[in-house]
Structure 1
């Protein structure tokens, strides 16, 4: 049944919304009113269309809400989603304009509860163990007496007070340098790793304590992050992990060079007990005093023995003077004897050299050389004269037989100009051929007009 209503006054302007406008403004209002929020709940009605996006409902005991997990945000998701899985997600509140459905846009998703953290802990532990970050051979030795200890912890907690109090009680001479960092919450792991790198670069300390009080696995999670484990492994300074209570184990404990069950135990591990050192110094002092007394007694007895052997310096000098005089006389006699022996040896050697002197032989050889040279010169002159006479005779004979002498008598040598072959028969040429006639002096280039035989 419809109720009859009076129309509004015509003077009032109507602002009529379309459905699309209503949904659009509702979406803008929702997204501007809610910042990105964290929501925890159970997955149900999970669907995976071909687009690659994931749609599901997130519910608790009283209500449920539709969620959209788009493909571009799924890169950092670990594990597989399924119905009934309890998750923790970061999301934006929005509205799907096409249907007017209120929904949650998921930007990050992880499995909720300590079980998920424990699985992530075990997975990282296994991976780092395979890489060798837990090897005992890589761990550095702790200094026996550090001059300065660096403490990486929260400056506002009781942990720092306990460490400083323990060090003052056990060994006040050790200086403490604090690297303040948050030890819980988002971003704590990055800041802890940055403090480790800064301490390694500065080298202001001999050893580092990474400390935090006890808590749940979630509270201690920054010390189970991979970035902290790799920063501890890369730190050039020895690192002692004192995180949580004795029953708490973290990845940082396994990578560190030493693990202490508590922060206070870490301070005790790195600081010697002052009372023990004082007692040890007292024992050393007593031993040193006893050794000094025994040494003094021994040296006193030795001094008495040396005093009994001591001779007056004047007597000692006179005795040495007598020894020097005797040695000087022996030295003079030895020098004279050595001089006589050297002169006798020289005379013997000189006589032997005279007997074997090459001078007489050299004179005889020089004279023989002169005679041989005179004979050689005379023989060479005679030989040259004979050779010259024979050469002239041969030259005369050769000239008489030479064709050049024939040319001097008016004859000529006819040759082919192209081959240089001597023409001795008219059959070798024909009219029109060119020949060359060699005279005694010069050449004639001739053209054969006619040939005839004798």
Structure 2
């Protein structure tokens, strides 16, 4: 069977069409792992990004009808696995991967690294802190993001339970490469300042939930050591109940959520008010009972009382 006539020039569109058909036929569906870069979300709802490794890059397109099924956030620097088909966008001749699904990658490696570091720090005694926090603290120092849900939850619970609480927010990033160094620096500064201001007596480190990668800054070895060496007692409330970080182990107290941390730190004024009402009722009943007993004793003594003239008459 004779092959195609190579002497006849092809149009650009024909070349791109044949290249697209060849790619789609020969490769089929495949999984690709790499680091996200240049994530773009135009108004169309599609997501465009580049997958890269140490030596190459691959353009990708995640169309709107598939993007809505991707639960995990997609950010530059995340390591992911994507499933899709290679194709060519014929009008521009762009070689790209049409993505059908996205999964976080590297979780197994992160968990293994977490367990190794946890075992080593535990053997060194870094998780031995168990100092009680003052109840309630005179001046609570909160290390968290100023725009996150965690600080809103903490402040709302504190305001409802104990409006007298004095709280200072120290804004720090709670995700990404800058988070652990910023937290370590803030801890050092607060401990130095506490020598000048003894009223500062407790630290809360908190953020909301997220994936293992989102919370990874709180598994930093140097941060765990900084928490362990803090002169001020530290409570850690990172993520949801199922999330556990090295910061939780190194802290004096761990709370399962930011809201639970606030509940542990201060009493509930409503419960105290109800208790005061109950105690006032008990005090009033005890007072009335004592007065009644003394009145009866007085009546008894009055009945025994005789005028001296009776004795003289006898």
TM category, shorter: 0.5 to 0.7
Partner of 1:248: 243
Deviation at 1:126, TM superposition (A): 0.9
Deviation at 1:274, TM superposition (A): 2.4
SS of the residue 1:237 aligns to: coil
Q: Contact 2:138–2:199 (CA<8 Å) still a contact in 1?
A: no
Partner of 1:183: 174
Q: Contact 2:219–2:247 (CA<8 Å) still a contact in 1?
A: yes
SS of the residue 1:116 aligns to: helix
Write 1 or 2 for the structure with the bigger share of helix. 1
SS of the residue 2:203 aligns to: strand
Q: Contact 1:155–1:180 (CA<8 Å) still a contact in 2?
A: yes
TM-score (norm 1): 0.42
Equivalent in 112, 121, 125 of residue 119 of structure 1: 112
Deviation at 1:293, TM superposition (A): 2.3
Over 3 Å counting, the alpha-carbon distance change for 1:295 and 1:213 in structure 2 is: same
Over 3 Å counting, the alpha-carbon distance change for 1:226 and 1:304 in structure 2 is: same
Say which one has the larger Rg: 1
Give distance in 2, aligned partners of 1:194 and 1:224: 16
SS of the residue 1:140 aligns to: coil
SS of the residue 2:167 aligns to: strand
Partner of 1:150: 141
Cα deviation, 1:237-293, whole Å, max 9, x if unaligned, reads 222211112221110111112222211111122122222211111111111112222
Equivalent in 150, 153, 173 of residue 164 of structure 2: 173
Over 3 Å counting, the alpha-carbon distance change for 1:218 and 1:292 in structure 2 is: same
Over 3 Å counting, the alpha-carbon distance change for 1:160 and 1:235 in structure 2 is: same
State yes or no: 1:132 paired with 2:122.
no
Q: Contact 2:239–2:256 (CA<8 Å) still a contact in 1?
A: yes
Over 3 Å counting, the alpha-carbon distance change for 1:231 and 1:311 in structure 2 is: farther
Give distance in 2, aligned partners of 1:299 and 1:310: 20
Give distance in 2, aligned partners of 1:130 and 1:172: 41
Deviation at 1:200, TM superposition (A): 2.9
SS of the residue 1:160 aligns to: helix
SS of the residue 1:278 aligns to: helix
Higher relative contact order (CA 8 A, sep 6+): 2
Structure 1 vs Structure 2 CA RMSD: 3.0
Give distance in 2, aligned partners of 1:40 and 1:129: 36
Partner of 2:41: none
Partner of 1:281: 276
Partner of 1:232: 227
Partner of 2:53: 41
- Count of aligned pairs between the two proteins: 210
Q: Contact 1:134–1:254 (CA<8 Å) still a contact in 2?
A: yes
Q: Contact 2:205–2:234 (CA<8 Å) still a contact in 1?
A: yes
Equivalent in 252, 261, 267 of residue 266 of structure 1: 261
Give distance in 2, aligned partners of 1:256 and 1:287: 41
Give distance in 1, aligned partners of 2:227 and 2:139: 18
Give distance in 1, aligned partners of 2:146 and 2:234: 19
Output aligned runs, 1:22-33, within 5 Å. none
State yes or no: 1:196 paired with 2:196.
no
Output aligned runs, 1:54-453, within 5 Å. 58=55, 113-135=106-128, 138-201=129-192, 202=194, 203-300=198-295
Partner of 2:35: none
Cα deviation, 1:189-212, whole Å, max 9, x if unaligned, reads 122122223333314433221101
Point out where structure 1 has 5 or more consecutive residues left out of the alignment.
Answer: 1-38, 43-57, 63-85, 87-111, 313-454
Deviation at 1:153, TM superposition (A): 0.3
Deviation at 1:213, TM superposition (A): 1.4
Point out where structure 2 has 5 or more consecutive residues left out of the alignment.
Answer: 1-50, 60-78, 80-104, 309-314
Deviation at 1:131, TM superposition (A): 0.9
Give distance in 1, aligned partners of 2:274 and 2:113: 50
Give distance in 1, aligned partners of 2:107 and 2:202: 33
SS of the residue 1:172 aligns to: coil
Q: Contact 1:177–1:205 (CA<8 Å) still a contact in 2?
A: no
Partner of 1:445: none
SS of the residue 1:156 aligns to: coil
Give distance in 2, aligned partners of 1:205 and 1:268: 19
